[in-house]
Chain A
């Protein structure tokens, strides 16, 4: 008993030590560390190998536009992964939501705001169904959402043929949506005035007629940054964020402590589906059409971006800002290779290696952080 006695009584002078958390330890504890390191590596690689135009403003926008669409999905996928579940149906959900959105506008002639509302509500409902099945059957979400990957893709095909009378592409969406502030939220570019001003003052490149070469920031990029900020704040600063970590870390312990695990998980599934619907709305409005292959394999890309961003496959650990960087890495590599002399088909090799490295790194960090033996 003697050493224990000592331990219990010996806490009086431990206060000084508390403040001595090393900067390195502090950084190591951040799940997005790997993604930041990866981003630096990738940028350095392209800086050495790629054409300078990749790092111009227009090059940056070319990279960020696809990265942001993936990123919106990746951030939602990251939250769900931290909550301990997967959703393999988000890619198919993009196509399905695109069909609903397109059909509401063209076949049913609804105004834009109703089409958006219907698409979002239906997506949320489908996500909640996914979540409820996972929770009630206690089946792995991997298998339940794999089923929905096929169900939703199939429904989209069938629905498209019904809506178009036999085609797998629904056109004419651009014509029925009139310009307005609501459309501006979901399509085109933002901050046009700012960019014109910058061009007028010679701060950014412009054409001879005075029009800036880059007219603004694509709205998807604005959504991407806003969602990353919001998700990070919710995750790190709110009660719901605390419960997301708990639901993924140890659902039983979370329940015993009074955390609403089932509600949190259902909400996360609905959120992921809504993120897919948002991407669908943005891409469909931009293209003016929707087709059956929309969002194809996006579920894998989103999960890869989340893992590169530091999410553990087992849940309970990860970050939204990490997924943000993960998606940017993804965009950099997929677009960046075209600026180099390398064959751009190296992309998949690069991506696979990156994923493997990220997983190994994450496991190492987790052992370090938790002192797991």
Chain B
């Protein structure tokens, strides 16, 4: 296992004062954050805080208007999601990761199919693909009877786990998980959180985006809170309590008022 508190290695991803404008709309006005190997950074923020724009910037979907973006200490500028993938940054989107009608194997190797034979007879080595998929599913404990069954037969939690396993298998250094638990039930959520923990143990950096403070607190090492396109602050798990984090995320005062009116049941 990689040393989690390794201070000598530069962070896998670091952004400093990142700015993004869409025309006259300012989506990000100076966000800073970093994630190191073997660390789970939770990115918290209410709707409209700029989480999505930040992820899109990190995963190469949009280009920042300003600020520094460093991968392993070196400045980068991505032109496409492919560039980000090649740099080891893999993004798992909430429900846009898997194609339900296709088999687990085909999904697992989508876009990175191993081929054999010479053109024009070049074909995908599906035997190898199925073996690898079966093995990888086995490792994460997803009980499939056949890697050729459709992804639609898996539960939501299993699908997220397959998407994460795929990113890990293809050598991601950092995983960006976009609200992986928001559509899941309790058991499914713990399954995904458990797996995030496993991935972290392997030494990958994880950026876990959520607006559920409890999910964040269960696996996170550090928490960066966004509000209105700015970083409100970054906290170590030891520095902050769940309640403080929740208040910070919702903009503090308003939530307390509502909470009071609702009899403290929020």
Task: Give the distance to chain A from B116, nearest Cβ to Cβ, in Å.
Answer: 10
A238: contacting residue among B109, B123, B194, CB under 8 A: B123
Is there a chain A Cβ closer than 8 Å to B240's Cβ?
Answer: no
Taking CB atoms and an 8 Å cut-off, the chain A residues in 1-33 that contact chain B are: 1, 3-5, 7-11, 14-15, 17-18, 20-21, 29
Q: Within 8 Å CB of B149, what residues of A?
A: 29
* CB-CB under 8 A for A242 and B145, given A4-B191, A256-B91: no
Is there a chain A Cβ closer than 8 Å to B183's Cβ?
Answer: no
A246: contacting residue among B102, B150, B191, CB under 8 A: B102
Q: Within 8 Å CB of B49, what residues of A?
A: none
Q: Mark A345-373, 1 if CB is under 8 A from B, else 0.
A: 00000000000000000000010011110
Q: Within 8 Å CB of B194, what residues of A?
A: 1, 4-5, 8
A242: contacting residue among B82, B124, B138, B152, CB under 8 A: B124
B99: contacting residue among A5, A8, A29, A245, CB under 8 A: A245
Q: Is the CB of B81 within 8 A of A245?
A: no
Q: Is the CB of A4 within 8 A of B96?
A: no
Q: Is the CB of A7 within 8 A of B141?
A: yes
Which of A38-46, A200-208, A247-255 sits within the interface?
A247-255
A243 to B124, CA, bound (A): 12
Q: Is the CB of A258 within 8 A of B85?
A: yes
A20 to B144, CA, bound (A): 11
Q: Which residue of A lies closest to B100 (CB)?
A: A370
Is there a chain A Cβ closer than 8 Å to B153's Cβ?
Answer: yes
Chain B interface size, under 10 / 10 to 19 / 20 to 34 / 35 or more: 35 or more
Q: Is the CB of B123 within 8 A of A237?
A: yes
A316 to B102, CA, bound (A): 8
Q: Which residue of A lies closest to B109 (CB)?
A: A242
Total A residues in contact with B, Cβ cutoff 8 Å:
43
Is there a chain A Cβ closer than 8 Å to B97's Cβ?
Answer: yes
A237 to B122, CA, bound (A): 9
Known: A18-B146, A250-B99. 20 other contacts (CB 8 A): A3-B187, A8-B191, A8-B194, A10-B143, A11-B138, A18-B134, A237-B123, A241-B124, A242-B113, A246-B106, A246-B110, A252-B96, A253-B96, A254-B111, A256-B93, A256-B97, A258-B81, A316-B99, A369-B152, A369-B153
> Which residues of B are in contact with A by a Cβ distance under 8 Å?
81-82, 85, 91, 93, 96-102, 106-107, 109-113, 115, 122-124, 126, 134, 137-146, 148-153, 187, 190-191, 194-195, 198
- Sampled A-B contacts (30; CB under 8 Å): A1-B194, A3-B187, A7-B141, A8-B140, A8-B194, A8-B198, A11-B138, A14-B138, A17-B143, A29-B148, A237-B123, A237-B126, A238-B123, A245-B101, A245-B106, A249-B102, A250-B98, A250-B99, A250-B100, A253-B93, A253-B99, A254-B110, A255-B81, A257-B107, A257-B111, A258-B85, A258-B112, A369-B150, A370-B150, A370-B151
> Which residues of A are in contact with B by a Cβ distance under 8 Å?
1, 3-5, 7-11, 14-15, 17-18, 20-21, 29, 233, 237-239, 241-243, 245-246, 249-250, 252-259, 312, 316-317, 366, 369-372
A-B pairs with lowest CB-CB distance, top 4? A370-B152, A258-B111, A371-B153, A249-B99
